[in-house]
Structure 1
């Protein structure tokens, strides 16, 4: 499965050369005020704001701009975010107010800065669509929440959607962007301000010291007064936050549109997502149709190829498409509270800050997280920041938590047999995840070993790809 979306692949590689890592630590440990780990949207926004505030900043990333979750996203900029507002409303209107304030702050910052950089943000109305009668109640709950917050959402009886609907909520004034072009421009701006971005540097350990934090990386040690972990999920077992997150894969595809005139009237001026399952996320991107959905928990889907086949079949049945262009997958994390977790990894300690739990809405939320993290470190906190702190409310055990625990205990029982695995042309590897001992499963669709416990993923030869694990699978 190709993992490069067409509207990103047609962009020039504007990331430019990253700072060389070969001599990164040749003269001993690298020292800095703030080390930002992760050069996706959250990381670069945080680093930019810190540098503007006079801090000495270094950015580290295990991959490159193209391998970030940001670059693999749908490119939607929205504060509506499906039915999420109704879910957040269970915490009360004050929390919804702060959640929306964070979203609008992130959206506004991106519009201003990307406008300065010449990166277009296309205005789109965002639709959350009911495709079954039982989903109308969810739409009504979103509308009621919007009304209490004086948000200009509207009920739409007949939305521009290619399949049968039972109404939708429309929020005007949202946007969409080419995510790789956006990230490339922000990284170039960061480098122009003298902030180094070291690609290809993976953090293996985060160790708190009496005078700061030490990062053990694949290139040596980095010493910092403060550390920001903008990595999707914190590496290792820091703060136990991995227990509060669930890792999900989402599939995305792009298609030629054979007959644009056959699209529903008004379709190209909107972007949409369904209120229930199976999720379908739609928008036009650079003349192509982008279709996403068929998400699943990492490591727990036995037939990912069937997910892609279902998405393709639905697209061909409901939309006037021609040839498929690309298919790829993206990984994101949902928190036990349903809110982003932005702030101290450990209660009462500002040495190590994290940002995660965007629940597949990482562009608007990621920019907001950068504003909150930088404000905290520069002693200029944003008003809505405390609402998003990881420890602002107690952890909430959910059915997903129980399922994760079940996978963990089953993995421990199986791990006593020291299972191994391999594919033709590859080495045999231990199937025991080095993070917490779960047993990884082979993903035929992406040719990876996926951990069903906390979402770590490994290449066929055992090389770590992503997730909270910090080491490769052992080779046999």
Structure 2
């Protein structure tokens, strides 16, 4: 499928604002005994798929478990950008020093390069684009200049542009040539198909309930039986449960994306169609074209803490209509990702010095490139051919530090306990919905109703549940209890 035929994740987008579908959980898959493998990869998005592919190519016996359909993964709902510029992220990473910054960028280029080669071999179109980080307000000029300085410190060929080709008011931008975009669902589908042709079993509809270390490796208790392996890679967006405590260092964010038909004869600024861009601050606006469609993203917020998500989407729509010659909105959907307390992704051991359980999380909405880099990193680690940047991405390479986001999360949790005492249950305003406990089974936060997406969302660590309390995504491993 070419990106000229469809925007990122459009095929599932019309249903994205409806309750997510829980995967079926038939019993007895592993009878009469537990499934065994060298490595179990939990999660069938881009991270899990790339990791499993590279492990299989290296001769490892690999099994993939996936709780949800591929079209509901964070990969399928991404913007489809392949870039190492990544908005203002490089400026934040640069605070850790030039060596860390250079390693992070090297990992990103490795991810892009791998995707270009693999997808090219599979016939998936990867379109070249220049990437722009745009100052949409005068206040954003300083952070954009910080990005340019970070690029200069490591010799990255970015350049300042006074008049970037974006239709909205702009006060300059940093341009990085040679980046790319892709239809993320087409890319994931092709890679998963390749995974199956390589003989790697992919078990859909399997949710991991518990990860336990054993003397010989790990044991996973799942919704369809027990799995034993030497190692497990948790490529689930966020580690399930509380394993390793990393969830305490993550903050869950949700953002909105829309695709639009351009009006007949619509004129866009010269060069706009050959770029992709994002603003350097609020209001965040992510832009790119996909064939004859315009893809617009933004209005992100912490999961469960937005009182009116529909107003966010309405704001994004109004902004798009004001600045672009659009006709009909084709799709609207939401995506979820996690940010870490260091500004770097966590890719490595969930517990220091123990390779039995490896994780990949904290992509901060730059998942496609980071996912491929994570797959290269984790597979190399397990196959005994580590990459140079591996120590930089190690989750415990930097000790956690107190921060405002952690304090806000704690205050939400404490407030939730008080609220649970007075309103412990709730009924979704959906026909036929049963009353459920509003206490999240993960850390005891109190879920809030999300009318736009018809879901119960936890404001503490981002777990989401359908109207009937069935778990959809996040670190929780159980449904909301019936009232």
Q: Is the 8 A contact 1:31 1:222 kept in 2?
A: yes
Runs of 4+ more than 4 Å apart: 18-23
| Total equivalences in the alignment | 466
Match of residue 453 from structure 1? 460
Which of 371, 375, 378 matches 1:370?
A: 375
Which of 126, 130, 135 matches 2:140?
A: 135
Q: Distance in 2 between matches of 1:260 and 1:346?
A: 57
State the 1:133 CA deviation. Answer: 1.0
Does residue 427 in structure 1 map to residue 434 in structure 2? yes
Cα gap change, 1:331/1:260 in structure 2, threshold over 3 Å: closer, same or farther?
farther
State the 1:264 CA deviation. Answer: 1.1
Deviations 1:364-404 (A, max 9, x none): 00100000000100010001111000000111222111100
When normalised by structure 2's length, the TM-score is 0.94
Match of residue 81 from structure 2? 76
Structure 1 unaligned residues grouped into runs of 5+: 12-17
Q: Distance in 2 between matches of 1:388 and 1:65?
A: 26
Does residue 63 in structure 1 map to residue 68 in structure 2? yes
Q: Distance in 2 between matches of 1:473 and 1:412?
A: 15
Cα gap change, 1:136/1:66 in structure 2, threshold over 3 Å: closer, same or farther?
same
Q: Distance in 2 between matches of 1:393 and 1:451?
A: 27
Query: SS of the counterpart of 2:255?
Result: strand
Which of 406, 411, 416 matches 1:406?
A: 411
Cα gap change, 1:347/1:7 in structure 2, threshold over 3 Å: closer, same or farther?
closer
Q: Distance in 2 between matches of 1:277 and 1:414?
A: 31
Cα gap change, 1:313/1:9 in structure 2, threshold over 3 Å: closer, same or farther?
closer
Q: Is the 8 A contact 2:8 2:77 kept in 1?
A: no
Q: Distance in 2 between matches of 1:364 and 1:203?
A: 26
Deviations 1:12-42 (A, max 9, x none): xxxxxx9996652122210111000000000
RMSD, aligned α-carbons: 1.5
Match of residue 268 from structure 1? 273
Match of residue 339 from structure 1? 344
Q: Distance in 1 between matches of 2:419 and 2:244?
A: 27
Match of residue 54 from structure 1? 59
When normalised by structure 1's length, the TM-score is 0.96
Which of 212, 220, 223 matches 1:215?
A: 220
Q: Is the 8 A contact 1:20 1:198 kept in 2?
A: no
Cα gap change, 1:6/1:118 in structure 2, threshold over 3 Å: closer, same or farther?
closer
Cα gap change, 1:385/1:22 in structure 2, threshold over 3 Å: closer, same or farther?
same
Match of residue 463 from structure 1? 470
Structure 2 unaligned residues grouped into runs of 5+: 1-5, 13-22
Cα gap change, 1:388/1:23 in structure 2, threshold over 3 Å: closer, same or farther?
same
TM alignment of 1:218-237, pairs within 5 A: 218-237=223-242
Q: Is the 8 A contact 1:418 1:430 kept in 2?
A: no
Q: Is the 8 A contact 1:21 1:198 kept in 2?
A: no
Cα gap change, 1:260/1:209 in structure 2, threshold over 3 Å: closer, same or farther?
farther
